[in-house]
């Protein structure tokens, strides 16, 4: 699985940089594009089987538009699947989507919940974000997010 993810990342970076230079250079060779498509399909397969790291990777790809069309709602879908399993990086990403209203309806209490959960697992980005965020939230939003985080139980992978 790690080699597949590494291959996908390499292909995604190449596709992303090629897209940025599309008017300056010829398109990618067919074999590289086919390899990226195959790696993306395999990543989708693993994500659909419940693999949290594959779900997070797909969420990241959709959030950045790397190897797939940028789609914040699709990013949120995949981040949520991984976040529900307790995957800290996905919890951070999902929290930020809720805080900014990207791909989901803006909801600071929900965003706070996901950032708290990621922070509790030691995610440094979540910890830094909470320091900036907490003074901006009402006590009710903080209490709601805290209550939701305390009640959270990760799902088991199927």
Give a yes or no: residue 158 inside a domain: no
Give a yes or no: residue 97 inside a domain: yes
How far is 36 from 3, CA to CA, in rounded Å?
A: 13
pLDDT at residue 38 in the model: 81
- Kindly report the pTM of this predicted structure: 0.78
Give a yes or no: residue 157 inside a domain: no
DSSP track, 89-145: HHHHHHHHHHHHTSSS---HHHHHHHHHHHHHTT-HHHHHHHHHHGGGS-HHHHHHH
Q: How many domains does the chain have?
A: 1
Give a yes or no: residue 114 inside a domain: yes
Residue 42: pLDDT band (50, 70, 90) is confident
The string of pLDDT tens digits covering residues 77-122 is 999 999 999 999 999 999 999 999 999 999 988 999 999 999 999 9
Q: What is the CATH number of the domain that holds 31?
A: 1.25.40.10
Give a yes or no: residue 156 inside a domain: no
Give a yes or no: residue 61 inside a domain: yes
CA 128, 73, 140: angle at the middle one, nearest 5?
Answer: 50
């Amino acid at each position: 699985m790690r080699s597949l993810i590494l291959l996908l990342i390499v292909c995604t970076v190449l596709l992303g940089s090629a897209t940025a230079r599309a008017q300056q250079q010829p398109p990618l060779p067919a074999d590289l594009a086919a390899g990226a498509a195959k790696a993306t399909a395999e990543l989708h397969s693993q994500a659909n089987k419940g693999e949290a790291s594959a779900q997070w990777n797909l969420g990241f790809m959709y959030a950045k538009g790397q190897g797939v069309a940028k789609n914040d709602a699709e990013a949120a879908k995949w981040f949520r699947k991984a976040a529900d399993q307790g995957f800290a990086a996905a919890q951070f990403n999902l929290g930020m989507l809720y805080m900014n209203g990207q791909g989901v309806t803006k909801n600071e209490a929900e965003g706070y919940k996901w950032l708290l959960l990621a922070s509790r697992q030691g995610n440094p980005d979540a910890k830094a974000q909470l320091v900036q965020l907490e003074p901006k939230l009402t006590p009710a939003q903080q209490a709601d997010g805290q209550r939701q985080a305390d009640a959270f139980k990760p799902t088991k992978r199927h």
